[in-house]
Amino acid sequence: MMAWTDRHCRYFHRLLSSQALLYTEMVTTGALVHGDVARHLQHDAREHPVALQLGGSEPADLAYSARLGEQWGYDEINLNCGCPSERVQRGAFGACLMAEPQLVADCVRAMMDVVSVPVTVKHRIGVDRTESYDFVRDFVGAVSEAGCRTFIVHARNAWLKGLSPKENRELPPLRYELVHRLKREFPRLTICINGGITGSEQVAQQLQTLDGVMIGREAYHNPWWLAQWDEQFFHRPARAALTREAVEEQMTDYMAREAKLHGTPWSAIARHMLGLRHGLPGSRHWRQVWSDHRLKALPARDVMALAHETVQNSPSECATA
């Protein structure tokens, strides 16, 4: 979710679900050791619970970054062992770390030594054409011995050569049965599943066996789905008066605050909520207004008013636009 789940996206998603655990986009250790820490770790207190996802392979750098994450108030530190991009591979981290379970164990141990919040690992079920269950079982076994108790498993292999990151999210076949087998073999670990899950029925089915479900692209492109989660999966009452219009208005207020405090243009925030009216008549016209950079000089509230006016005056269109 690089360049997707930034702090503005997470603020938006928190308006929809008060209970879901949110994850940052992956932040590399190099960005924290040598870069602008505040830019990468700044977040709104209303985002909690929120986990910091790190990318790296040097135990000392990961320990330093994890300590920073805890100091900045993150509720969990997550090590990414699943990203297959070539840039990440050149840094010798991400999915290629699955081939070095003892190094991952050292990284986890180093982070756990310096923080009190949970340290978790996100990974794939295999690398390249290795489809043996033994591979992922041995990986989880070695890393759990270092103290990691939670594993978020993307139920696809990562093909490190020949596929783009987008293709790696779609072409390697999903094998949910391997994740379920991990839970049977490691019943005391928290095993969560990720990959290809797009509806509440699928989530409910996975939760019959597993401890959690991570949703990525579907939550981003169809964010209103999150508005059901508190009631469906956390057994909390739905938020009173939660409507798309109310969420849009709160986001518009947030855009105004961010512009005043940090000079953030509304377009940098609005891009994350373009799926809010997914499936509703007029949604295409609404998106066009909120993504129109020619309007960037207007205050966000004026853009919202224009978006609503455009929807009201737009010709009827398919409800799945």
Q: Which residues are catalytic?
A: 83
The angle, 0 to 180 degrees and rounded to 10, between the axes of the packed helices 59-71 and 101-112 is: 40
Chain centroid to Cα 304, Å, comes to: 27
Phi, psi (5° rounding) for residue 217?
-60, -40
Q: Where are the beta strands (DSSP E) in the chain?
A: 22-23, 27-28, 50-55, 76-81, 119-127, 150-158, 190-194, 212-214
Q: Specify the 3-state DSSP secondary structure of 203.
A: helix
CA distance 258 to 240: 26
Task: Quickly count: other Cβ atoms within 10 Å of residue 309's Cβ.
Answer: 12
Residue type, 136: V
Residue type, 12: F
- 8 Å CB contact between 158 and 126: yes
- 8 Å CB contact between 279 and 319: yes
Token pair recorded at residue 7: 């702090």
Closest CA to 196 of 174, 179, 177: 174
